Amino acid sequence: MDRVAANRLRWRCRRGLLELDLVLARLSTAELTDEEAQALGALLALPDRDLWDIVCGRSDRYEPRLAPLVARLRSL
């Protein structure tokens, strides 16, 4: 992933929920593969509450292709 795309993704990781911001900030500083970046982009399209429910494990309503990234987010 190039620098511009990485910066855009980091900017999109800034959300309205503090808890979500903290988790996404940890992930956004890590090196992401192109697949992970695309998966993160798909997750960031969700509303904050839906995304938080997925990250904290209250919801499993996401595409199966996003499972590896969701597991990584849950481990943070």
Separation of alpha carbons 56 and 68, rounded Å: 15
| pTM, full prediction | 0.88
Q: How far apart are the first and last CA of the chain?
A: 22
Domain of residue 57: give its range. 3-75
CATH number at residue 64: 1.10.150.250
pLDDT tens digits, one per residue of 35-48: 999 999 999 999 99
Buried b (16+ CB within 10 A) or exposed e, 49-67: eebbbbbeeeeeebeeebe
pLDDT tens digits, one per residue of 23-32: 998 887 678 8
- The number of distinct structural domains making up the chain is 1
Separation of alpha carbons 33 and 22, rounded Å: 21
**72: pLDDT strictly greater than 90:** yes
- Higher model confidence: residue 3 or residue 46? 46
